[in-house]
Structures are given as C-alpha cells and as structure tokens.
Copies of this chain bind each other. A is one copy, B any other.
Amino acid sequence: MNLMIIGTGLIGGSFALALQEGRSNIRVTGVDKDKEHLQQALDQGIIHRSGTLEDVKEMDLVILAVPVNVAPTLLKQVLDRTTENTLVMDMGSTKEKLCRSVANHPRRKNFLAAHPIAGTEFSGPSAAFAHLYRNKKMVLCEVEKTDENLLQDALEMFEELGLEIRHMHPEEHDRHLAYVSHLSHISSFMLGNTVLEKEQDERNILDLAGSGFESTVRLAKSSPDMWVPILEQNREPVLEALDLYIMHLQDFRKSLEQEQYQDLYQDMKRANVLKPLLGKEPIEIKTTKNLQP
C-alpha cells in the first residue's frame, strides 16, 4: 500500500504509525512544508521518504492532516492529481467549508471527509503515537458522495485501527463541535490567561494548582496555529456557543453576588448530569514536579 500523509504531525503521524503497526507492505511518503518535521518524521519511522504532490498519482491513500484553513486549496490540488483508485481523506476539525469547496470537483468521489475524535494538547511528529485512534470515534460526512469501493476499503481500515464510525451532515458536525470541542478550548485558553494575569508569581500556580486546574486548563496548551483557523471556519456557531457560555457565567455570578446559594446549588447539580456520561475513573495527571528551585 502506498500511503501519503500531508502534514506529519500528531494527527497524520499517528495515523501512519497505526497503519504500519497492522500492515507490513506499506510505504509511507510524507509531505510537509516544515522541513524539521519532515526530518523528525523520517527519524521516528513515521514516514519512509519525503515527497511532493506530484507523487499523489502513485498513491492508494492520501491523508490530509493540515490546519483547516490550508485544507480546501490543498485538497483540490491533491484531487487534481489522483487516479481513479486513489482515496483522499482529510482529518480536519471543521467540515462544512471543506466539503463545499470540492462539491463540484470532478474527482469528488475520491474524497472522504473524516474527523477522528482524538488528539492530545501536543503537536508535531514527536507527539504522534500508534494507539491514538484506538477505541475512538470517527465522524464521516457525506459518505454517499464517496466511491463505494473506496469507502468500503476505508471502513475496513478504520475497523483495523479500532475506530468506531459515526455519520453526520457537515453543517451538523460543525455546529455540534462548536459546543463540544471548540468552546472547551476557548474556555480553557481564557481561564489560563485570567490566572496568568492575576498570578504573577508562577510558583503560586505551580504549588496551588491542583490537578483540577491542570485538567481544566489543559487545552490552553494547544497550538494557536491550528486553532485560529478552526475558529475562523466555524465562526458563527462558535460565537453562538460563546454567547450562551458567557450568559451562564453571568447568571452564576449574579446568584453568587446576591447570595442565592440555592440557585448555585441547582446550577451545579444540573452539570452533575455529565457524571455518568463521561469517564468513571479519576483522570490521572502526571504532574511535573520540582520545576522551581
């Protein structure tokens, strides 16, 4: 199998590693505008050689794992170079604009719009690992527009990697993700900035921040290079989610100011509904100890 990953970071790199783990006859070509990442990916065995878009015609599978603002143009360039048997997949966090951008492309059926619900707050080839996708969900959009045989191959591959499939309309995907993922990131980034503004002494953050703060602010370590384009592409739904979030915070603030403790209690109790929906084990956090003298 000839695989090309465009973008050799966490998402593309982990996909390549996972496929290599299960298959012996696989040759991975990496494309990345970051030469350092390319070299790292080679060193780590994520890719076997570096290539260019001109190599697309020799590929069975091309994975696009790049920031979502770069994806539409790049996807067109890739599709232009496919043969009938090339499957092209993206793995971006927004789907509507990308799907619309290739709606009328003569090779639309070679494309599968995918979004694996997996990731960590780290990025680059050094963050990639083979088991990132195991037991995770994979959202697919507009599968009816993908060639049936290519889709079948993709589904088998996802099963091999331990991914569970969920189907969604691109617009529906983006609207849900605004709440369930994009808003979490903003809340985390802003929490980080609030604490950093107030706590000038880093030692107070290190010493007093329990694992609670650490998990809440975890996403504030994410890369703005990836996140600005996501927020830009999903601007309307994210603004709506942000407004609702600010409203909830203002209501809570008002109850606290007016000492309406029964209201605060109800508000918090309501959120407890999430308990059975999410993990039942405490989150294990590997804290970095003794950073300070």
CA of A197 to CA of B267, assembled, Å: 12
Give the size of the chain A interface in residues (CB under 8 angstroms).
104
Q: Are the C-beta atoms of A268 and B118 separated by less than 8 Å?
A: no
Q: From known contacts A245-B249, A246-B253, infer whether A212 and B219 are also in contact, taking CB-CB under 8 Å.
A: yes
Q: Does A183 contact B (CB under 8 A)?
A: yes
Q: Are the C-beta atoms of B212 and A215 separated by less than 8 Å?
A: no
Choose one: B179, B208, B288; the contact of A181 (CB below 8 Å): B208
**Stretch of A22-30, A49-57, A145-153, A258-266 lying at the B interface:** A258-266
A199-249 with Cβ < 8 A to chain B: 199, 202, 204-224, 227-228, 231-232, 235, 238-239, 241-246, 248-249
Q: Which residue in chain B gives the minimum CB-CB distance to A122?
A: B282
Q: Are the C-beta atoms of B183 and A264 separated by less than 8 Å?
A: no
In angstroms, how far is the closest chain B Cβ from the Cβ of A292? 10
CA of A288 to CA of B276, assembled, Å: 9
Q: Are the C-beta atoms of A253 and B278 separated by less than 8 Å?
A: no
Q: Which of A184, A270, A278 has the most CB of B within 10 A?
A: A278
Q: Are the C-beta atoms of B245 and A191 separated by less than 8 Å?
A: yes
CA of A208 to CA of B183, assembled, Å: 13
Q: Does A35 contact B (CB under 8 A)?
A: no
A261-293 with Cβ < 8 A to chain B: 261, 264-265, 267-289, 291
Q: Does A155 contact B (CB under 8 A)?
A: no
Q: Does A257 contact B (CB under 8 A)?
A: yes
Q: From known contacts A204-B180, A231-B264, infer whether A214 and B278 are also in contact, taking CB-CB under 8 Å.
A: yes
CA of A137 to CA of B281, assembled, Å: 22
In angstroms, how far is the closest chain B Cβ from the Cβ of A218? 5
Q: Does A105 contact B (CB under 8 A)?
A: no
Q: Are the C-beta atoms of B198 and A241 separated by less than 8 Å?
A: yes
CA of A184 to CA of B208, assembled, Å: 12
A155-189 with Cβ < 8 A to chain B: 166, 176-177, 179-181, 183-189
Q: From known contacts A179-B199, A249-B186, infer whether A239 and B257 are also in contact, taking CB-CB under 8 Å.
A: yes
Q: Which residues of A come within 8 Å of B, CB atoms? A: 117-122, 127, 135-137, 139, 166, 176-177, 179-181, 183-199, 202, 204-224, 227-228, 231-232, 235, 238-239, 241-246, 248-250, 252-253, 256-257, 259, 261, 264-265, 267-289, 291
Across chains A and B, which 10 residue pairs bring their CB atoms closest together, nearest first?
A: A192-B271, A120-B282, A224-B268, A220-B271, A215-B215, A184-B216, A281-B286, A190-B248, A189-B271, A194-B245
Can you name 13 A-B residue pairings with CB atoms under 8 Å?
Answer: A119-B211, A120-B211, A121-B212, A136-B210, A176-B208, A181-B208, A183-B195, A197-B244, A216-B219, A220-B272, A221-B272, A224-B268, A246-B249
